[in-house]
Amino acid sequence: MILNEKNYYGKKANIEYMSYSQFKDFCECPAMAIAKIKGKYKPESSESMLVGSYVDAFLDNNFEQFKIQTPEIFTIKGELKAQFKKADDICQIIKKDKYLYKLLTGERQKILICNIAGVKFKTKLDSLLQNFIIDGKVVKDCEDCWIDGEKKSFIFKYRYDLQAAIYQTAVLQNYNKKLPFLLAVVTKETVPDKRIFKITDETINNAMQEIIVKAPIFNAMKKGETEIYGCGKCDYCKSIKKLNKKNIEEI
């Protein structure tokens, strides 16, 4: 299957290829990941996702099409709803910062495929430059987070380390060059902050080891070759939950 803008997010492509977001779904809950692939579960777009899409549309010069596809972010009068005006502010902040704007406006939305541990992955790069792979993020803030009792960078909370490993591999396999992976971040704080993070080789190598181990397992689940289990805690698992007497809890 040859991927393009029209079929990249389609069901057929999601069955044939793994992706960063799909891999992350499997890490969180395989049952939820499979339900999304089959079209049986479609979580509503969060406000955070819509803000990110708004900024992407601005950088892709595709804003008019985005407005047609997302009428929910506008009022009846056609004005941006209050909670999305921050997205417009972020676009202007990016535009006014020459270095940040240059990073984010390289070769946009470049589709590449790669193979990791025998599993086909699809990638769609935000911005590809001669010397960098750049992914733009709009986040609440850049504060460290508590993960398994340890304070770590927010990068690990959202598993951007996995994204860095997959994207760097895609560029390496397609262009035969290893490029640094940068996160270009703008925050949604009252006064937005701008930061650029380079994901280190050590972090990428650690993430790649995790992908090499888990990707074949997740792919086998997609093919129906092994048992699929749910986490029991995510929104999907709660939506299909059925109770019986074994679920009675004593307090």
> Does some domain include residue 1?
no
Report the distance separating Cα 106 and Cα 115, nearest Å.
Answer: 24
> Does some domain include residue 59?
yes
pLDDT digits (tens, 9 = 90+) for 219-231: 999 999 999 999 9
Report the distance separating Cα 122 and Cα 20, nearest Å.
Answer: 8
Residue 106 CB neighbours (<10 A):
17
Highest-confidence segment of 7-11, 53-57, 151-155, 163-167: 163-167
Give residue 202's domain range. Answer: 11-240
> Does some domain include residue 157?
yes
The β-bridge relationship of strands 133-139 and 181-187 is parallel
As for how many domains the chain has, the answer is 1
At 88, is the pLDDT very low, low, confident or very high (cuts 50, 70, 90)?
A: confident
> Does some domain include residue 5?
no
Q: What is the CATH number of the domain that holds 73?
A: 3.90.320.10
At 170, is the pLDDT very low, low, confident or very high (cuts 50, 70, 90)?
A: very high
List Cβ neighbours of 4 (8 Å cut-off, separation of 6 or more): 111
Asked which of 11-15, 119-123, 246-250 is least confident by mean pLDDT, the reply is: 246-250
What is the pTM (predicted TM-score) of this model?
0.92
Report the distance separating Cα 164 and Cα 12, nearest Å.
Answer: 25
> Does some domain include residue 247?
no
> Does some domain include residue 3?
no
> Does some domain include residue 172?
yes
Strands (E) across 154-221 are located at 181-187, 194-198
Tokens in use for 7?
A: 């079929």
> Does some domain include residue 23?
yes
